[in-house]
Amino acid sequence: MERKNIRLAVVYGGISSEREISLRSGAAIYEALKRGGYTEVSLFDLKRDNLGELLALSPELVFLALHGKGGEDGCIQGMLELAGIPYTGSSVEASATCMNKIHTKEILVHGGIPTPKFITLYRSEVESEQDAACTLLKKIGIPMVLKAPCQGSSIGVRIVKKREELEDAIREVFAYDAVLLAEKFMEGTELTLPILGNRHPRTLPIVEITSENEFYDYEAKYTQGMCRHIIPARIDASIREKVEAMGTRAYIALGCSGLARIDFMLDSRGDPMIIEVNTLPGMTEMSLFPDSARYAGISFEALVDQIVTLAWEKTKEDS
Protein backbone atom coordinates (compact mmCIF):
# COMPACT_ATOMS: atom_id res chain seq x y z
CA MET A 1 0.00 0.00 0.00
CA GLU A 2 1.26 3.45 -0.89
CA ARG A 3 1.71 5.08 2.52
CA LYS A 4 0.50 8.52 1.44
CA ASN A 5 -2.84 7.08 0.32
CA ILE A 6 -3.78 5.66 3.70
CA ARG A 7 -6.78 6.92 5.68
CA LEU A 8 -5.11 9.09 8.27
CA ALA A 9 -6.91 10.85 11.11
CA VAL A 10 -5.27 13.71 12.99
CA VAL A 11 -6.77 13.54 16.48
CA TYR A 12 -6.64 16.85 18.33
CA GLY A 13 -8.53 18.94 20.88
CA GLY A 14 -9.25 16.56 23.75
CA ILE A 15 -10.49 17.25 27.25
CA SER A 16 -7.42 18.54 29.06
CA SER A 17 -6.45 22.05 30.13
CA GLU A 18 -4.16 22.09 27.07
CA ARG A 19 -7.04 21.74 24.59
CA GLU A 20 -6.43 25.09 22.86
CA ILE A 21 -2.77 24.27 22.22
CA SER A 22 -3.75 20.85 20.90
CA LEU A 23 -6.18 22.46 18.45
CA ARG A 24 -3.32 24.60 17.12
CA SER A 25 -0.92 21.64 16.91
CA GLY A 26 -3.48 19.47 15.12
CA ALA A 27 -4.40 22.13 12.58
CA ALA A 28 -0.72 22.69 11.74
CA ILE A 29 -0.09 18.94 11.37
CA TYR A 30 -3.18 18.49 9.19
CA GLU A 31 -2.11 21.25 6.80
CA ALA A 32 1.44 19.91 6.64
CA LEU A 33 0.24 16.39 5.82
CA LYS A 34 -1.96 17.73 3.03
CA ARG A 35 0.90 19.80 1.63
CA GLY A 36 3.13 16.74 1.88
CA GLY A 37 0.93 14.67 -0.42
CA TYR A 38 -1.25 12.65 1.97
CA THR A 39 -4.54 12.25 0.12
CA GLU A 40 -6.99 10.99 2.77
CA VAL A 41 -6.45 13.08 5.88
CA SER A 42 -9.21 14.08 8.31
CA LEU A 43 -9.21 16.21 11.45
CA PHE A 44 -10.97 14.70 14.45
CA ASP A 45 -11.76 16.80 17.55
CA LEU A 46 -11.74 14.31 20.42
CA LYS A 47 -14.31 14.86 23.16
CA ARG A 48 -15.69 12.73 25.98
CA ASP A 49 -18.63 11.37 24.02
CA ASN A 50 -17.40 10.79 20.48
CA LEU A 51 -14.89 7.92 20.60
CA GLY A 52 -17.30 5.82 18.56
CA GLU A 53 -17.23 8.41 15.80
CA LEU A 54 -13.46 8.12 15.60
CA LEU A 55 -13.68 4.35 15.25
CA ALA A 56 -16.39 4.74 12.61
CA LEU A 57 -13.91 6.63 10.42
CA SER A 58 -11.86 3.41 10.26
CA PRO A 59 -8.51 5.22 10.12
CA GLU A 60 -5.54 3.14 9.08
CA LEU A 61 -3.33 5.35 11.23
CA VAL A 62 -3.98 8.05 13.83
CA PHE A 63 -1.64 11.02 14.14
CA LEU A 64 -1.93 12.07 17.76
CA ALA A 65 -1.85 15.83 18.29
CA LEU A 66 -3.27 15.72 21.80
CA HIS A 67 -1.65 17.24 24.87
CA GLY A 68 -2.27 16.60 28.54
CA LYS A 69 -4.67 14.22 30.28
CA GLY A 70 -6.63 11.83 28.14
CA GLY A 71 -4.26 12.21 25.21
CA GLU A 72 -0.66 12.16 26.38
CA ASP A 73 -1.10 9.78 29.32
CA GLY A 74 -1.79 6.47 27.58
CA CYS A 75 -5.60 6.68 27.62
CA ILE A 76 -6.21 7.26 23.91
CA GLN A 77 -3.27 5.00 23.09
CA GLY A 78 -4.95 2.16 24.98
CA MET A 79 -8.21 2.64 23.14
CA LEU A 80 -6.42 2.60 19.80
CA GLU A 81 -4.49 -0.52 20.80
CA LEU A 82 -7.78 -2.31 21.59
CA ALA A 83 -9.17 -1.24 18.22
CA GLY A 84 -6.03 -2.39 16.40
CA ILE A 85 -5.31 1.09 14.99
CA PRO A 86 -1.66 2.19 14.69
CA TYR A 87 -0.81 5.64 16.05
CA THR A 88 2.09 8.05 16.22
CA GLY A 89 4.29 8.47 19.26
CA SER A 90 4.97 6.33 22.30
CA SER A 91 3.16 3.26 23.59
CA VAL A 92 0.57 3.13 26.36
CA GLU A 93 3.18 2.31 28.98
CA ALA A 94 5.73 4.93 27.96
CA SER A 95 3.05 7.60 27.53
CA ALA A 96 1.62 6.96 31.01
CA THR A 97 5.07 6.88 32.60
CA CYS A 98 6.35 10.07 31.01
CA MET A 99 3.13 11.99 31.67
CA ASN A 100 3.67 11.38 35.38
CA LYS A 101 6.65 13.49 36.41
CA ILE A 102 7.12 11.44 39.59
CA HIS A 103 7.31 8.11 37.76
CA THR A 104 9.63 9.65 35.17
CA LYS A 105 12.04 10.85 37.84
CA GLU A 106 11.96 7.50 39.65
CA ILE A 107 13.03 5.72 36.46
CA LEU A 108 15.73 8.32 35.83
CA VAL A 109 17.10 7.84 39.34
CA HIS A 110 16.99 4.06 38.96
CA GLY A 111 18.95 4.38 35.72
CA GLY A 112 21.55 6.70 37.24
CA ILE A 113 20.47 9.60 35.03
CA PRO A 114 20.84 12.97 36.79
CA THR A 115 17.67 14.81 37.82
CA PRO A 116 17.14 17.44 40.53
CA LYS A 117 16.56 16.29 44.12
CA PHE A 118 12.85 15.71 44.74
CA ILE A 119 10.22 14.31 47.08
CA THR A 120 6.54 13.51 46.67
CA LEU A 121 3.86 14.59 49.11
CA TYR A 122 0.31 13.27 49.28
CA ARG A 123 -2.50 15.44 50.55
CA SER A 124 -3.62 12.55 52.79
CA GLU A 125 -0.23 12.59 54.54
CA VAL A 126 -0.56 16.12 55.91
CA GLU A 127 -3.11 17.81 58.12
CA SER A 128 -2.83 21.28 56.57
CA GLU A 129 -0.85 23.45 54.16
CA GLN A 130 1.20 24.57 57.14
CA ASP A 131 2.07 20.97 57.96
CA ALA A 132 2.98 20.34 54.32
CA ALA A 133 5.14 23.45 54.27
CA CYS A 134 7.15 22.28 57.26
CA THR A 135 7.83 18.94 55.59
CA LEU A 136 8.94 20.54 52.32
CA LEU A 137 11.15 23.11 54.05
CA LYS A 138 12.87 20.34 55.97
CA LYS A 139 13.39 17.97 53.04
CA ILE A 140 13.88 20.31 50.06
CA GLY A 141 14.34 23.86 51.32
CA ILE A 142 13.91 27.26 49.70
CA PRO A 143 14.02 27.83 46.75
CA MET A 144 11.92 24.94 45.47
CA VAL A 145 9.59 24.09 42.59
CA LEU A 146 6.18 22.55 43.21
CA LYS A 147 4.55 20.63 40.37
CA ALA A 148 1.26 18.90 39.74
CA PRO A 149 2.76 15.62 38.46
CA CYS A 150 0.35 14.92 35.60
CA GLN A 151 -0.14 18.34 34.00
CA GLY A 152 1.68 19.67 30.94
CA SER A 153 2.65 23.02 29.39
CA SER A 154 3.92 24.14 32.82
CA ILE A 155 0.34 24.17 34.17
CA GLY A 156 0.28 23.58 37.93
CA VAL A 157 3.89 24.68 38.45
CA ARG A 158 4.98 27.15 41.15
CA ILE A 159 8.48 28.40 41.93
CA VAL A 160 8.74 29.28 45.61
CA LYS A 161 11.58 31.55 46.70
CA LYS A 162 10.08 32.91 49.93
CA ARG A 163 8.72 31.01 52.93
CA GLU A 164 5.57 33.16 53.04
CA GLU A 165 4.64 32.05 49.48
CA LEU A 166 4.82 28.34 50.22
CA GLU A 167 1.40 27.57 51.70
CA ASP A 168 -0.46 29.32 48.88
CA ALA A 169 1.64 27.43 46.36
CA ILE A 170 0.89 24.11 48.05
CA ARG A 171 -2.83 24.89 48.01
CA GLU A 172 -2.68 25.80 44.32
CA VAL A 173 -0.81 22.67 43.25
CA PHE A 174 -2.99 20.34 45.34
CA ALA A 175 -6.00 21.76 43.46
CA TYR A 176 -4.81 19.75 40.43
CA ASP A 177 -4.10 16.44 42.12
CA ALA A 178 -3.91 14.62 45.45
CA VAL A 179 -0.12 14.44 45.20
CA LEU A 180 2.55 17.00 44.44
CA LEU A 181 6.15 16.83 43.34
CA ALA A 182 8.60 19.11 45.11
CA GLU A 183 11.99 19.70 43.45
CA LYS A 184 15.07 21.65 44.40
CA PHE A 185 14.97 24.79 42.26
CA MET A 186 17.82 25.12 39.77
CA GLU A 187 18.92 28.56 38.64
CA GLY A 188 20.59 28.20 35.29
CA THR A 189 20.26 27.62 31.57
CA GLU A 190 17.19 25.79 30.30
CA LEU A 191 17.70 23.43 27.36
CA THR A 192 15.52 21.03 25.44
CA LEU A 193 16.53 18.08 23.29
CA PRO A 194 14.14 16.84 20.58
CA ILE A 195 14.55 13.17 19.66
CA LEU A 196 13.15 11.18 16.71
CA GLY A 197 13.17 7.41 16.36
CA ASN A 198 12.14 4.03 17.69
CA ARG A 199 14.79 1.52 18.66
CA HIS A 200 17.62 3.65 17.25
CA PRO A 201 16.69 7.26 18.12
CA ARG A 202 18.54 10.27 16.80
CA THR A 203 18.86 13.65 18.42
CA LEU A 204 17.99 16.96 16.80
CA PRO A 205 19.78 20.25 17.63
CA ILE A 206 19.60 21.29 21.28
CA VAL A 207 17.52 24.41 21.89
CA GLU A 208 18.34 26.99 24.57
CA ILE A 209 15.23 28.64 25.97
CA THR A 210 14.97 32.12 27.40
CA SER A 211 11.77 33.56 28.83
CA GLU A 212 10.45 37.01 29.68
CA ASN A 213 8.75 35.44 32.71
CA GLU A 214 10.41 33.87 35.74
CA PHE A 215 10.43 30.53 33.94
CA TYR A 216 9.23 29.02 30.68
CA ASP A 217 5.57 28.91 31.70
CA TYR A 218 2.34 28.61 29.70
CA GLU A 219 2.25 32.33 28.88
CA ALA A 220 5.86 32.40 27.74
CA LYS A 221 5.42 29.27 25.61
CA TYR A 222 2.42 30.46 23.66
CA THR A 223 2.62 34.26 23.57
CA GLN A 224 4.55 35.84 20.72
CA GLY A 225 7.64 37.68 21.96
CA MET A 226 7.62 36.15 25.46
CA CYS A 227 10.39 33.64 24.77
CA ARG A 228 13.37 32.95 22.51
CA HIS A 229 14.53 29.66 21.05
CA ILE A 230 18.30 29.84 20.56
CA ILE A 231 19.55 27.20 18.11
CA PRO A 232 22.12 25.87 18.50
CA ALA A 233 22.24 26.30 22.26
CA ARG A 234 25.13 28.41 23.56
CA ILE A 235 26.91 25.53 25.29
CA ASP A 236 30.31 23.89 25.00
CA ALA A 237 30.72 20.79 22.87
CA SER A 238 31.35 18.69 25.98
CA ILE A 239 28.03 19.75 27.51
CA ARG A 240 26.26 19.16 24.20
CA GLU A 241 27.61 15.61 24.12
CA LYS A 242 26.45 15.01 27.71
CA VAL A 243 22.95 16.30 26.97
CA GLU A 244 22.63 14.17 23.84
CA ALA A 245 23.91 11.05 25.60
CA MET A 246 21.71 11.56 28.68
CA GLY A 247 18.67 12.33 26.58
CA THR A 248 19.13 9.22 24.47
CA ARG A 249 19.58 7.06 27.56
CA ALA A 250 16.41 8.48 29.09
CA TYR A 251 14.45 8.02 25.84
CA ILE A 252 15.39 4.35 25.73
CA ALA A 253 14.97 3.73 29.48
CA LEU A 254 11.47 5.22 29.44
CA GLY A 255 10.49 3.21 26.35
CA CYS A 256 9.75 6.21 24.14
CA SER A 257 9.14 5.82 20.42
CA GLY A 258 8.38 8.07 17.48
CA LEU A 259 9.36 11.32 19.09
CA ALA A 260 9.86 13.02 22.42
CA ARG A 261 11.30 16.24 23.78
CA ILE A 262 13.51 16.05 26.86
CA ASP A 263 13.91 19.15 29.02
CA PHE A 264 17.12 19.92 30.90
CA MET A 265 18.55 22.47 33.30
CA LEU A 266 22.25 23.15 33.73
CA ASP A 267 23.33 23.33 37.36
CA SER A 268 25.78 25.88 38.76
CA ARG A 269 28.74 23.81 37.51
CA GLY A 270 27.26 23.48 34.03
CA ASP A 271 26.23 19.85 34.51
CA PRO A 272 22.92 18.91 32.84
CA MET A 273 19.98 17.44 34.73
CA ILE A 274 16.75 16.16 33.20
CA ILE A 275 13.62 17.98 34.35
CA GLU A 276 10.90 16.12 32.43
CA VAL A 277 10.02 14.26 29.23
CA ASN A 278 7.27 15.21 26.79
CA THR A 279 6.08 12.38 24.51
CA LEU A 280 3.68 14.51 22.43
CA PRO A 281 5.48 17.85 22.15
CA GLY A 282 3.72 20.89 20.76
CA MET A 283 3.56 21.36 17.00
CA THR A 284 2.33 24.95 16.85
CA GLU A 285 4.00 27.83 15.01
CA MET A 286 5.86 28.64 18.26
CA SER A 287 6.84 25.11 19.27
CA LEU A 288 10.35 23.93 20.06
CA PHE A 289 10.39 20.62 18.21
CA PRO A 290 9.64 22.03 14.73
CA ASP A 291 12.10 24.87 15.33
CA SER A 292 14.91 22.41 16.05
CA ALA A 293 13.97 20.27 13.04
CA ARG A 294 14.02 23.30 10.74
CA TYR A 295 17.53 24.17 11.93
CA ALA A 296 18.55 20.61 11.04
CA GLY A 297 17.17 21.10 7.53
CA ILE A 298 13.92 19.20 8.12
CA SER A 299 10.84 21.10 6.96
CA PHE A 300 7.60 20.82 8.92
CA GLU A 301 6.13 18.70 6.09
CA ALA A 302 9.15 16.37 6.21
CA LEU A 303 8.97 16.20 10.00
CA VAL A 304 5.34 15.04 10.14
CA ASP A 305 6.08 12.59 7.31
CA GLN A 306 8.96 11.12 9.34
CA ILE A 307 6.68 10.77 12.37
CA VAL A 308 4.13 8.84 10.27
CA THR A 309 6.92 6.64 8.89
CA LEU A 310 8.16 5.86 12.40
CA ALA A 311 4.62 4.86 13.44
CA TRP A 312 4.42 2.42 10.50
CA GLU A 313 7.85 1.02 11.31
CA LYS A 314 6.89 0.51 14.95
CA THR A 315 3.75 -1.36 13.91
CA LYS A 316 5.89 -3.77 11.88
CA GLU A 317 8.44 -4.15 14.70
CA ASP A 318 5.71 -5.00 17.23
CA SER A 319 3.82 -7.43 14.99
How confident is the model at residue 11, as a pLDDT?
98
Indicate if 222 belongs to the active site: yes
How confident is the model at residue 217, as a pLDDT?
47
- CA 145, 146, 151, 155 torsion: positive or negative? negative
3-state secondary structure of 238: helix
The one catalytic residue in 72, 73, 190, 263 is 263
Indicate if 72 belongs to the active site: no
The one catalytic residue in 183, 216, 282, 305 is 282
How confident is the model over 286-310, as pLDDT tens digits?
799 999 999 999 999 999 999 999 9
- CA separation for the pair 168, 183 (Å, rounded): 17
The one catalytic residue in 12, 14, 18, 24 is 18
Q: Which residues fall within 8 angstroms of residue 63, CB to CB, at 6 or more apart?
A: 8, 9, 10, 11, 29, 33, 87, 88, 304, 307, 308, 311
The helix or strand, by DSSP H or E, that contains position 80, with its residue range, turns out to be helix 75-83
How confident is the model over 136-184, as pLDDT tens digits?
999 999 999 999 998 865 788 999 999 999 999 999 999 999 999 999 9
How confident is the model over 185-237, as pLDDT tens digits?
988 899 999 999 999 999 999 999 987 645 544 554 545 555 789 999 999 99
How confident is the model at residue 210, as a pLDDT?
86
Q: Give how far the C-alpha of residue 212 lies from the chain's centroid of Cα atoms, to the nearest Å.
A: 21
How confident is the model over 81-97, as pLDDT tens digits?
999 999 999 999 999 99
The one catalytic residue in 91, 278, 287, 292 is 278
How confident is the model at residue 213, as a pLDDT?
47
How confident is the model over 99-140, as pLDDT tens digits?
999 999 999 999 999 999 999 999 999 999 999 999 999 999
How confident is the model over 12-59, as pLDDT tens digits?
999 998 899 999 999 999 999 999 999 999 999 999 999 999 999 999
How far are the Cα atoms of 68, 143, 225, 271 from residue 268, in angstroms, in the given order?
A: 31, 14, 27, 7
The one catalytic residue in 222, 244, 258, 305 is 222
Per the confidence metrics, is the pTM higher than 0.85?
Answer: yes
Q: What are the chain's domains?
A: 3-88 (3.40.50.20), 97-114+187-318 (3.30.470.20), 118-184 (3.30.1490.20)
The one catalytic residue in 217, 261, 287, 305 is 261
- CA separation for the pair 270, 268 (Å, rounded): 6
How confident is the model over 239-275, as pLDDT tens digits?
999 999 999 999 999 999 999 999 999 987 889 999 9
Indicate if 278 belongs to the active site: yes
- Contact yes or no for 53/23 (Cβ under 8 A): no
Residue type, 148: A
Indicate if 282 belongs to the active site: yes
How confident is the model at residue 221, as a pLDDT?
52
The one catalytic residue in 25, 90, 91, 153 is 153
Whether the pLDDT of residue 285 is over 80: the answer is no
What does the angle CA 132 – CA 141 – CA 156 come to, to the nearest 5 degrees?
60
